[in-house]
Amino acid sequence: MNTLTLNENQITGPIPPELGKLTMLNTLSLYTNQITGPIPPELGNLTMLNILSLFTNQITGPIPLELGMLINLRILELADNQITGSVPEEIGNLLNLEHLVLSLNQISGSIPKTFRKLQSIQIMRIESNKLSGSLPQEFGDAISLVKLALNNSLSGPLPTNICLGGRLQYLVVSSNMFNGPIPRSLKTYTSLVRINLESNQLTGDISQHFGVYPQLIRMSLASNRLSGQISPNLGACIQLTVLDLAQNMITGSIPPILSELSNLVELRLDSNHLRGEIQTEICTLTNLYSMNLSSN
């Protein structure tokens, strides 16, 4: 047997350690059940495993460091459980790992520096945990990364060349304590679909950090300490549906070029230092549902 898939049932009880004897398995998928107890360290014996998917259960305890022995693993999904403890450094040994999804747990500690070895990683979602510390500068080496979500209690600056490969589509690092400027390398990421940096302590001139993103749908930079003027480049992001720059220290006027955003549904520029007139061109945004310009 090389595949064991028991998803979306009502399976209860712990994962049997005896599964570690099925050494020919390449897929073990038990997601969306009612499984309890810890992840057995014996699963580290499944060295042929490509997919380990245990999300949406009631699994407790730490991530076994033995999972770092699964050298052929491409997908590791443990989200929406009650996992505690830290992320083992041994996860950095999974050189073929493409998807790492640990969201919605109670994982604490810092992000291991060994993650710099995950050169094949495409999706990394560790949001809604209790991680702290800084984001290793080595994240700039993750050349294949497409989606990064890290809403936790992380601090320090964002890596200068975050996700240097330029394939990044989703950057969601809101509700942390990141400080310093937005990395200028974001200017080159024309593949971006969503940027969410809200509720941090980011500073710097907002007009210096953004390029033209033809695929960008949502941008939220609210609740930071950003200054400067709204970049006219945003007017060329013609797919934008949500633009939220509220609660910063942005100055200048509302640029008329924002009227080019014909798909815009929500515009929030409140609680800044904007001044001048509201341009009549903004009335051409016929899809606009919500606009907040208060406290300027």
pLDDT tens-place values along the chain, 296 residues long: 799 999 999 999 999 999 999 999 999 999 999 999 999 999 999 999 999 999 999 999 999 999 999 999 999 999 999 999 999 999 999 999 999 999 999 999 999 989 888 889 999 999 999 999 998 877 766 678 899 999 999 999 988 877 666 788 999 999 999 999 988 888 888 889 999 999 999 999 988 777 788 999 999 999 999 999 998 888 889 999 999 999 999 999 998 889 999 999 999 999 999 999 988 888 899 999 999 999 99
Do 246 and 267 meet the contact criterion of CB atoms below 8 Å apart? no
In a domain, 95, yes or no: yes
DSSP state of 134: B
Q: Report whether 42 contacts 20 (CB < 8 A).
A: yes
Residue at 92 is within a domain: yes
Q: Which of 100, 105, 27, 37 minimizes the C-alpha distance to 68?
A: 100
Assigned domain for 209 exists: no
54 near 27, Cβ under 8 Å?
no
In a domain, 45, yes or no: yes
pLDDT of residue 186: 82
Quote the number of domains for the chain.
Answer: 1
CA distance linking residue 248 with residue 184, whole number of Å: 19
Query: 172 phi and psi, to 5 degrees?
Result: -125, 100
Bridge partner list, 108:
130
Structural domain contains residue 87: yes
Strand 51-53 and strand 75-77: the pairing is parallel
- Does some domain include residue 219? no
C-beta of residue 51 within 8 angstroms of C-beta of residue 26: yes
On whether residue 171 sits in a domain, the answer given is no
Is position 14 within any domain?
Answer: yes
The domain in which residue 86 lies consists of 1-124
Contact 34, 59 (CB under 8 A): no
CA 249 to chain centre: 25
Whether 59 and 32 have beta carbons less than 8 Å apart is answered as no
Domain with residue 118: its CATH number is 3.80.10.10
Q: Both tokens of residue 112?
A: 């291991």
